[in-house]
Amino acid sequence: MSDDGLPPLREVIARHGLDARKSLGQNFLFDLNLTRRIARSAAPLAAATVVEIGPGPGGLTRALLLEGAKRVVAVEKDARALPALAEIAAHYPGRLTVIEADALRFDWQVHIEGDAKIVANLPYNIATPLLTGWLTSPWPPWFSSLTLMFQKEVAERIVAAPRSEAYGRLSIISQWCAHARKLFDIDRRAFSPPPKITSSVVQLTPKLLREPSCDIAVLEKVTAAAFGQRRKMLRSSLKGLHPDMANLLAKLGIDANLRAEQLAVGDFARIAQALGGTAE
């Protein structure tokens, strides 16, 4: 038995035939000390609904419950995991709700009420679309924090500062919407099966007001154009967005000879604002 009185995860996986599927991004964490560390990073857990994406056999789910989550709603696409998760739900009566669904097509606002914290060891193949989907949903969002595991390279892009290699579209959307920080790395050998690369846990705390205010769709257009040609000067990479882009940048006091990676997050938002749509 483990600390929580439930059978060890390896036994659960063997008993339910949950061999890991690559197509579902399945790399499981067995070490309860590690999953408890992730759960504690999202504390306090008692007041909010904890939303977990991809509980799989339930390693992180068990850690969240052990660490005091009053209510966990777990969304899992793989029906094979449901019997194992039902055992956890029975062990913690009334505290775990499992929903079989595709997180990419899930209507969060309909299912989640009140303050919610998202905590997940995300399937790598859909981690970035899930994050951008949450950040582009109506604001202020339905969640008060996101504590998420990504491939280290993606985590670095989320928190990257200007003038760094990793700085790009994901950095700007993440940091315009939230305070983002990388908490710690997790060695690939902690997973079963081990992925090719190191993972990192990132925490994003949404900003109530996203400032300078702008239409997020316009902001995405600006960053797509700027980083689509990241070696070019803004006067050239942003040319297609406005008939007199050089003048628009001059009015904003932004040097049109800069390249995308040299521009602060707020400057991108100011360009988007000037292009129109302060529809917040």
Q: Should residue 28 be labelled a site residue for ligand SAM when binding is judged by CB under 6 A?
A: yes
CA–CA separation, 136 vs 242, rounded Å? Answer: 24
In DSSP terms, which residues pair with 182 in a beta bridge? 202
Q: Should residue 29 be labelled a site residue for ligand SAM when binding is judged by CB under 6 A?
A: yes
CA quadruple 100, 19, 64, 170: dihedral, nearest 10 = -80
DSSP 45-77: -SSSEEEEE--TTSHHHHHHHHTT-SEEEEEES
Q: Should residue 214 be labelled a site residue for ligand SAM when binding is judged by CB under 6 A?
A: no
List binders of ligand SAM among 123-152 (CB under 6 A): 123, 126
> Cβ closer to ligand SAM: 110 or 208?
110
**Interhelix angle for 82-91 vs 9-16, to 10°?**
130
Q: How many CA atoms lie within 13 A of 261 on its CB side?
A: 14
Regarding beta strands 71-76 and 96-100, do their DSSP bridges make them parallel or antiparallel, or are they unpaired? parallel
Binding mask 55-94 for ligand SAM (x = CB under 6 A): xx--xx--------------xxxx--x-------------
Least Å distance, CB 98 to ligand SAM, is 11
Q: Should residue 121 be labelled a site residue for ligand SAM when binding is judged by CB under 6 A?
A: yes
Which window, 91-99, 119-127, 131-139, 255-263, contacts ligand SAM (CB under 6 A)? 119-127
Q: Should residue 54 be labelled a site residue for ligand SAM when binding is judged by CB under 6 A?
A: yes
Q: Should residue 24 be labelled a site residue for ligand SAM when binding is judged by CB under 6 A?
A: yes
In the list 42, 53, 172, 201, the residue contacting ligand SAM (rule: CB under 6 A) is 53
Q: Should residue 225 be labelled a site residue for ligand SAM when binding is judged by CB under 6 A?
A: no
Which window, 96-104, 159-167, 205-213, 227-235, contacts ligand SAM (CB under 6 A)? 96-104
Which window, 47-55, 157-165, 182-190, 220-228, contacts ligand SAM (CB under 6 A)? 47-55
DSSP 92-108: STTTEEEEES-GGG--H
DSSP 14-50: HHHT----GGGT--EE--HHHHHHHHHHT---SSSEE
What residues make contact with ligand SAM under the rule CB under 6 A? Answer: 24-29, 53-56, 59-60, 75-78, 81, 102-104, 121, 123, 126
